[in-house]
Structure 1
Amino acid sequence: MSGREPLRLVLVAGEASGDLLGGDLARALKRQRPDLELAGITGPHMRSAGVETWFDVEALSVMGLTEVLRHLARLIRLRKNLRQRILGWPATALVTIDAPDFNLGLARQLHRRGLTTIHYVSPSVWAWRAGRIPRIARSLDLLLTLFPFEPALYRPHGLDARFVGHPLADELRAGPDRSAARTTLQTGSENPVIALLPGSREGELTRHVGLLAATARLLRRAHPAADLVMLLSGPRHAALARELAGSALEQAGVRLLSDVTRSGLAAADVAIAASGTVTLEAFLLECPLVVYYRLAPATFHLARALKLVRSQFVSLPNILCQHRLVPERLQGEATPETLLADVNAWLAQPERTRQYRQQAAKWRQRLGCQAGEQAARAVLARLGGEALSRS
């Protein structure tokens, strides 16, 4: 880039996990290019990294086909307002982070206007709606992926796609400290710890807390000395869990813990976790997993009717390893009895746990390659090369 021209990037995150990635990327960009101007849709991590907030990330935090439809008009207005602000700033490039349903549409519109468009985090095309790949390729100049198998999916379509690693693996590169984690949880060293994770969105809590409360009742009977902990993303979700199933959770002796998910997973002998990014965190922390999920019924039936799902797995540990490393229980298979049986199987098979932890350590090293720095270098190299081609 010319030294006389300001380098202005718009960063757009769509949910809390994207805010974490965006914050990591923004700090790396600032280290490599201190005069960079950053603005966009942010959460607390991006704001603390110096990204100016135009809109808050909470404005985009909706999930599922039917849920998105309810918010569609508002999301269209937001995207229009954001597009106008980007063009009026004007931005050098757009860097969207995850949230593909919103972000890739925005990227496509601005790509047609001649703006450089970069997306961080490949959509799950290997599992869901693979037909998107050609359109994604036409909408972007650069795609940064978290997993090593993803770039090959896009190269036949002419898209520059690069594996940069996963920031979560960078954070967890040293591995779990179970002793310290159990001290944080104030749990006994001899008692099994079983973690219950309902998900990070309110809709997930609504669908999952009752199931976990019923499962906890069975777990308490089977393992009277176990420390049962429900790991929640904050006090608001803890209050919602109490509202939904407080008495049942109390009767089962479940402790509700907020903002200690990482310590809880590091301390746990096994976790029952809603499918999502947290399953990767649990895997990298070497915590044996039982993965479950219940979609809103209308969303599930529509996805099945339209044949939108192609992967045989939904959880990231299984997808990475390409075999059934952890059990997956979806929709009607996610019952208290089945989840109890899966937990019992883990607790009864120490050799299985040992092998699982070996796999986790291998993937922690493979994915931990300073993702933020790699992504920032790729972004700035792309912009530098385009500046030279225009000069």
Structure 2
Amino acid sequence: MIRVYLVAGELSGDLLGAGLMRALKALHPDIAFRGVGGPRMQAEGLDSQIPLERLAIMGLVEVVRHLPALFGFRARLREDALAWQADIMVGIDYPDFNLRLARQLRATGMKTVHYVSPSVWAWRQGRVKGIRASVDRMLTFLPFEASFYRAHQVPVTFVGHPLAEELPLEDDREAARDKLGLSETARVLAVLPGSRRQEIAFNAPTFRDAVALLRQRDPELQVVIPAANTQRRDELAALGMDQASGFTVLDGLAWMAMTAADAVLLTSGTAALEAMLCHRPMVVAYRHGQVTHWMAQRLVKTPWISLPNLIAQEEIVPELIQDAATPEALAETLWPMLEHQAERQQIGERFRALHRQLQCGASERAARAVLEVVEHG
């Protein structure tokens, strides 16, 4: 029997962990699971030692306040994994906690794997030395991440991205518009000004003013905003981005909104990857505080901030950052995407090619890599 010690620290990790467990059971039925996970992982057979929500702490102040508890949990899990005689420990995301635990367990001779790379390729690249000492294998969602680790002599397997499995290669714009009550013939712009309060404060007014300029060119332009939650919806309404001002505001449904759109205006992050997997042309724009911008310029080591450009290793997506992100520049960059179907089709085909590159059965690939480490190191 193979004993796998899994540690997920967030709900997103619970979902990934459940998929990994299903794939491991399919490849090697004589297997047992223990560690930390949520309801999905427990449903797949995980004997969870700590409630997942005890680890899922967000924000600097909250993390500092809970440091003694986190140190205690890590010590407890280390002793539990050793007492259980696990063959391998798999940390799922949650890198600050999991990589330290992995390093402690690896020092005892246990095999370790980390699933989901931290953004070490973008900033604080010196962390890779600690990662090299912590894991026998890193499993990455994105191909450029794997290239980074190979260059730094860290054993790595690119497994593909689970989102690429969820979103279809052939999207249905008409069906999405029908579900959202949008016109079949009008130009449609999806606007995603961020999921955090500060992102809304810094970016939404600029996005709103860019929409006003676009509507001078096309008064029939329909604009759909998938609000991250009710708080963000209220903040958008206070800025004049609500139904009364001609915006279709949704509760979530970001994928559907982007599928229904001709083009997308968004801040960076996972939303840019989702827009790419919906095969929609986009403009990435991001404004933040001057001090944050100054620090980012000195810390970030990549030529782009959006995942589509990083995956393609070239600029497919226009990025307008800080002072470059004016309403006039956003409108001018978006208009050709809204106006010209040929341009939309060309970008869409490029995004489909990248979609295929990421669509390679992430859970099964990850499971095979874990078993390979158990058997061969």
Aligned partner letter, 2:358: L
**Cα distance per residue 1:232-266 (max 9 Å; x no partner):** 34xxx134321453460124311221231111111
SS in 2 for 1:108: helix
* Counterparts of residues 58-73 of structure 1 (less than 5 Å): 60=56, 62=58, 67-68=59-60, 71-73=63-65
Alignment partners' CA distance in 2, 1:345 and 1:208:
22
Q: Is the 8 A contact 1:92 1:115 kept in 2?
A: yes
**Which runs of 5 or more structure 2 residues have no equivalent in the other structure?**
none
Q: 1:242 corresponds to which residue?
A: 234
Query: Once structures 1 and 2 are overlaid, which stretch shifts more, 339-348 or 180-189?
Result: 339-348
Q: CA deviation at 1:296?
A: 5.1
Equivalent residue number for residue 134 of structure 2: 139
Residue number in structure 2 paired with 1:389: none
Counterpart amino acid of 2:283? V
Cα distance in 1 between the residues matched to 2:326 and 2:68 = 38
| TM-score computed with the length of structure 1 as normaliser | 0.83
Give the match's secondary structure for 2:106: helix
2:57–2:63 Cα contact (<8 Å) kept = no
The separation in 2 between residues aligned to 1:60 and 1:206, in whole angstroms, is: 26
Code of the aligned partner of 2:241: L
Question: Which moved further from structure 2: 29-38 or 222-231?
Answer: 29-38
The structure-2 alpha-carbon separation of the partners of 1:380 and 1:200, relative to structure 1 and needing over 3 Å to count, comes to farther
Shift of 1:157: 4.4
Q: Distance in 1 between matches of 2:261 and 2:272?
A: 13
- Residues 1:11 and 2:7 are matched in the alignment: yes
Superposed displacement of residue 213, structure 1: 3.7
2:337 partner amino acid:
W
Shifted more, 354-363 versus 27-36: the winner is: 27-36
- The 8 Å contact of residues 111 and 373 in structure 2, kept in 1 or not, is answered as no
Structure 1 residues 8 and 206, CA gap change in structure 2 (3 angstroms): farther
The reply on whether 1:279 has 2:265 as its aligned counterpart is: no
Q: Measure, in 2, the Cα distance between the counterparts of 1:113 and 1:58.
A: 26
CA contact (8 A) 1:167 1:370 kept: yes
Aligned 1:154-303 pairs, distance under 5 A: 154-155=149-150, 157-233=152-228, 237-246=229-238, 248-250=240-242, 251-295=244-288, 297-303=290-296
TM-fit CA distance, 1:19? 4.4
Kept in 1, the 8 Å contact 2:6–2:92? The answer is: no
Q: Which residue of the partner structure matches residue 341 of structure 2?
A: 350
**TM-score normalised by the chain length of structure 2:** 0.86
Q: Is the 8 A contact 1:216 1:249 kept in 2?
A: no
* Gapped regions of structure 1 (runs ≥ 5): 387-391
CA 1:278–1:227: 2 relative to 1, 3 Å: same
Q: 1:232 to 1:93 in 2, by over 3 A?
A: farther
Cα distance, 1:137 vs. partner?
A: 1.0
Aligned residues: 371
Q: What is residue 85 of structure 1 aligned with on the other side?
A: 77
Provide Cα deviations, 1:97-138, integer angstroms capped at 9, x if missing partner: 334344333333333344332111223333323322222111
Shift of 1:277: 1.6
Q: Does 1:379 align with 2:375?
A: no
CA contact (8 A) 1:318 1:324 kept: yes
2:311 equivalent among 294, 303, 320? 320
* TM-aligned CA deviation for residue 300 of structure 1: 3.2
User: Structure 1 213/154 Cα, relative in aligned 2: closer, same or farther at 3 Å?
Assistant: same
Give how far 1:52 is off.
Answer: 5.5
Q: CA deviation at 1:76?
A: 5.8
1:69/1:345 CA distance change after superposition, 3 Å: farther
Q: How many Å separate the matches in 2 of 1:334 and 1:352?
A: 22
| Contact residue 12 and residue 41 of structure 1 kept, 8 A | yes
Of 332, 336, 351, the residue aligned with 1:341 is 332
Tell me which of 332, 337, 350 is aligned to 1:359: 350
Q: Which of 96, 100, 108 pairs up with 2:103?
A: 108
Contact 1:265 1:285 survives alignment (8 Å): yes
Cα deviations by residue, 1:66-86 (Å, 9 ceiling, x for unpaired): x53663342563243144134
Q: 1:303 to 1:39 in 2, by over 3 A?
A: same
User: What one-letter code is carried by the residue in structure 1 that aligns with 2:348?
Assistant: R
Structure-2 change in CA distance of 1:78 and 1:212 (3 Å): farther
